[in-house]
């Protein structure tokens, strides 16, 4: 598999001569490579459509192009079906503690706001929507149809998802990144870059904010700052509960993503452990805030 990929990479028409390549570790839906061509460095991203996860490469490419135009992501040099070549960002890939650094949060929020408001001005062609509760229902259906080892837990998770969706309430629509893991931020020493548009699509701004918080372990005071700074108003109780419901939904979606990946993925990754970790985090968040969810949803 790797030899076929590297043969393809070596034959791309964008190189000036003989190249050097090396794999970049860490991807759990793609295979990525660093390529050196003379004095220039490139990032090569390869991957096919993954319909079970809603990953469609035409959408990823359109989002990456829009992100380049908005000044969020690096220049795209070449694209072919299942492959994209970008300028390589020579910088430090964030970890969760970097995201939590007080000096970094305003920089990250600026990227998120620009993603939400500027990318729709540049996006071209058909676009996807990423509504986390549709994703959750689709994953639950897939797990049931595939007789997942988690099948007995699915009805309870479906009921919790219904409550969470009601607790989120009405939303406005922006263009979301929808996968704000720490590794999708790179600091080149001068500025931050936002990369990896697999799950990009129109969504509520609350999802990116909640996803950032849940993926990076933000503290309650940091979450409060994030909401106030993004919306420019004091945080109401209604907004706080909606945010917490979306945060629980983000954790549930990540749990179900991993359950489905246990069935379908061929990558060398411990999905079972990832499932267990995210299920534990989801259950803790849901139990902590469920009274507020019932109140916001108007349930007894």
Alpha-carbon distance of 136 to 164, in angstroms, equals 11
Asked if pLDDT for residue 1 goes beyond 70, the answer is no
> What pLDDT score was predicted for residue 2?
62
With a pLDDT cut of 70, the percent of the chain lying above it is 97
The model's pLDDT over 240-296, given as tens digits with 9 standing for 90+, comes to 999 999 999 999 999 999 999 999 987 778 999 999 999 999 999 999 999 999 998
What pairs with residue 92 in β-bridges? 187
**Res 4: pLDDT:** 82
pLDDT by residue (tens digit) across 111-158?
Answer: 999 999 999 999 999 999 999 999 999 999 999 999 999 999 999 999
Q: Which pLDDT tens digit goes with each residue over 149-183?
A: 999 999 999 999 999 999 999 999 999 999 999 99
d(CA 167, CA 299): 10
Least confident of 19-28, 131-140, 191-200: 19-28
Is 300's pLDDT higher than 60? no
pLDDT at 87 over 90: yes
In contact, 167 and 292? CB cutoff 8 Å = yes
More confident site: 86 or 17: 86
CA distance 289 to 204: 20
Tens digits of residue pLDDT in 215-232 = 999 999 999 999 999 999
Domains recognised in the chain with CATH numbers: 2-90 (3.30.200.20), 93-297 (3.90.1200.10)
pLDDT of residue 25: 78
Report the C-alpha gap between 293 and 238 in whole angstroms. 10
- pLDDT tens profile 51-82: 999 999 999 999 999 999 999 999 999 999 99
Whole-model pTM over 0.75:
yes
- The answer to whether the beta carbons of residues 286 and 170 sit under 8 Å apart is no
């Amino acid at each position: 598999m790797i030899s076929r990929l590297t043969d393809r990479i070596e034959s791309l028409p964008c190189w000036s001569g003989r190249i050097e390549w090396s794999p970049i570790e860490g991807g759990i839906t793609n295979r990525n490579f660093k390529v050196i061509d003379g004095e220039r460095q490139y990032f090569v991203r390869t991957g096919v459509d993954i319909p079970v996860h809603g990953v469609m490469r035409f959408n990823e490419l359109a989002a990456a192009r829009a992100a380049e135009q908005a000044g969020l992501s690096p220049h795209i040099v070449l694209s072919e079906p299942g492959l994209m070549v970008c300028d390589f960002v020579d910088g430090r890939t964030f970890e969760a503690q970097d995201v939590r650094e007080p000096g970094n949060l305003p920089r990250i929020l600026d990227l998120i706001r620009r993603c939400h408001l500027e990318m729709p001005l540049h996006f071209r062609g058909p676009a996807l929507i990423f509504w986390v509760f549709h994703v959750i229902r689709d994953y639950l259906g897939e797990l049931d149809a595939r007789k997942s080892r988690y099948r007995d837990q699915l009805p309870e998770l479906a009921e919790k998802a219904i409550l969470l969706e009601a607790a989120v309430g009405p939303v406005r629509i922006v263009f979301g990144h929808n996968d704000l893991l720490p590794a999708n931020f790179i600091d080149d020493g001068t500025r931050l870059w936002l990369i990896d548009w697999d799950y990009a699509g129109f969504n509520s701004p609350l999802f990116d904010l909640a996803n950032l918080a849940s993926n990076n372990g933000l503290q309650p005071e940091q979450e409060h700052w994030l909401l106030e700074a993004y919306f420019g108003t004091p945080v109401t109780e209604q907004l706080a509960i909606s945010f917490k419901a979306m945060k629980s939904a983000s954790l549930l979606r990540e749990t179900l993503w991993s359950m489905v990946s246990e069935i379908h993925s061929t990558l060398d990754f411990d999905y079972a452990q990832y499932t267990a970790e995210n299920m534990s985090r989801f259950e803790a968040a849901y139990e902590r805030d469920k009274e507020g969810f019932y109140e916001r949803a108007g349930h007894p």
